[in-house]
Structure 1
Amino acid sequence: MGTKEPTTRRRMRADARRNYERLLAAAATAFTEHGTDASLEEIARRAGVANGTLYGHFPTRQALLEALLGDRMHALAGTGEELLGHPSPFDALAAWARAAVAHTTLYRGLSASLMRAVEDESSELHAACQEVLAAGERLVVRARAAGELREDATAPDLYALVNAVAWAGEQSSPAQGERLLAFTLDGLRKPPG
């Protein structure tokens, strides 16, 4: 769980920091149980704070998700960077896609939030989504240059497909999601000759 403290000119008071941490813990539990559409009022109640306290720390649902997921999204981007050294560019891309699906299925409904945020510059999740997309872009370019990936495949395509696979896995089963990811990766591979 991420615990990125909001950017402020001064550090939070101890009680504000405790409320912030309780809200993150309550949100993680609520999102795990009910998905990203879980009631924010219920999250505040579980944390033992007023709604105003929740909105004071997290003015939007996306801000709350960014606080929860920011560190994980940076780690996913970092995984992409590490995989640039993998001997097989396509296998590196496939490993990153699997890691991205695992990340995206953390909470039911997360894939839809991430797809909206990648395009919405006003979303608190936008910068983290763009960082993940940039890592995917480097892997796509490398696999394409090695002749292992279709010439017309792009990082935004891969990002959309990963989120679609995650959504489909939520709707049916993780096994179905894995099967769809295998089909997706096969479809992205450049045919021999």
Structure 2
Amino acid sequence: MEKMRADARRNRAKVLAAAEEAFALDGLAVPLDDIARLAGVGAGTVYRHFPSKEALFQAVVLERIQQFAEEARALVTAADDPGAVFFDYFVRVIRQASLNRAICDALAESSGHAFKAGAGDEFRAALAELLARAQAAGAVRPDIDGDDLRALIVGCLAVERYAPGSEHLLRVVVDGLRPVERVRTG
């Protein structure tokens, strides 16, 4: 495959950034011409990189999921306090994803555009690694696995969609991930 020129890479990055902003606000209803204008490029530039609005939409979602995965992988190697790092990242993913319906939907999918390209698998693997480190440090209850965690993220995103600003509900979920301090009886 031919390597992209530097100006073409910059234009593609501008289009992706503008599209992420536009899709987050207006969803798929936003015209490609509006995205081109927001990116400061011509419509032809958008079409050269992305043959359809759906292709651009998929690229935006894939890039964001990949960014989540890269951030998690970086945190695994840099974590001095695995528990704090895990909880901070968990909350940050929910807050960032809740701002963009496309990202919410992609995280909720078990198949589809984000997961066909492997970005979803990379994200799940990196998140599971953060979880395992936090569990090994005793900061997260041991009976939670990566699939449980993904379900909790999707649930938190649904709560945010239907009850925006429900910080106390996110705190309930975070508290539920912490180890049980005392044995329950009865």
Q: TM-score range by the shorter chain?
A: 0.7 to 0.9
For structure 1, the residue ranges without an aligned partner over 5 or more in a row are 1-7
Distance 2:4 2:156 in 1: 40
The one-letter code matched in structure 1 to 2:70 is: H
Structure 1 residues 45, 60: CA separation in 2 closer, same or farther (over 3 Å shift)? closer
Q: What is the match of residue 100 of structure 2?
A: 107
**Aligned to 1:49, which of 43, 60, 63?**
43
Superposed, 1:22-171 pairs within 5 Å as 22-34=14-26, 37-39=27-29, 42-47=31-36, 48-49=42-43, 52-53=47-48, 54-55=50-51, 59=55, 61-67=57-63, 70-83=66-79, 85-86=80-81, 89-116=82-109, 119-120=110-111, 123=114, 126-171=117-162
The one-letter code matched in structure 2 to 1:75 is: E
Distance 1:21 1:140 in 2: 31
Distance 1:72 1:186 in 2: 23
Distance 1:13 1:132 in 2: 28
Distance 1:164 1:126 in 2: 24
Structure 1 residues 146, 57: CA separation in 2 closer, same or farther (over 3 Å shift)? same
Residue 45 of structure 1 and its aligned partner are, at CA, apart by 4.4
Write out per-residue CA displacement over residues 167-188 of structure 1, whole angstroms, 9 at most, x where no aligned residue: 3213322x30x32221112222
Superposed CA RMSD: 3.2
For structure 2, the residue ranges without an aligned partner over 5 or more in a row are 37-41
Give the TM-score normalised by structure 2.
0.72
**Does structure 2 conserve the Cα–Cα contact (< 8 Å) formed by 1:24 and 1:68?**
no
**Does structure 1 conserve the Cα–Cα contact (< 8 Å) formed by 2:32 and 2:53?**
no
Counting matched residue pairs gives 175
Residue 78 of structure 1 and its aligned partner are, at CA, apart by 1.9
Distance 1:43 1:124 in 2: 24
Distance 1:68 1:126 in 2: 13
**Does structure 2 conserve the Cα–Cα contact (< 8 Å) formed by 1:105 and 1:166?**
yes
Distance 1:30 1:9 in 2: 29
Write out per-residue CA displacement over residues 26-80 of structure 1, whole angstroms, 9 at most, x where no aligned residue: 312312322xx3236x134431415844327973632232245534541243234
Structure 1 residues 161, 124: CA separation in 2 closer, same or farther (over 3 Å shift)? closer
Distance 1:63 1:160 in 2: 24
**Does structure 2 conserve the Cα–Cα contact (< 8 Å) formed by 1:114 and 1:129?**
yes
Give the TM-score normalised by structure 1.
0.70
Residue 12 of structure 1 and its aligned partner are, at CA, apart by 4.1
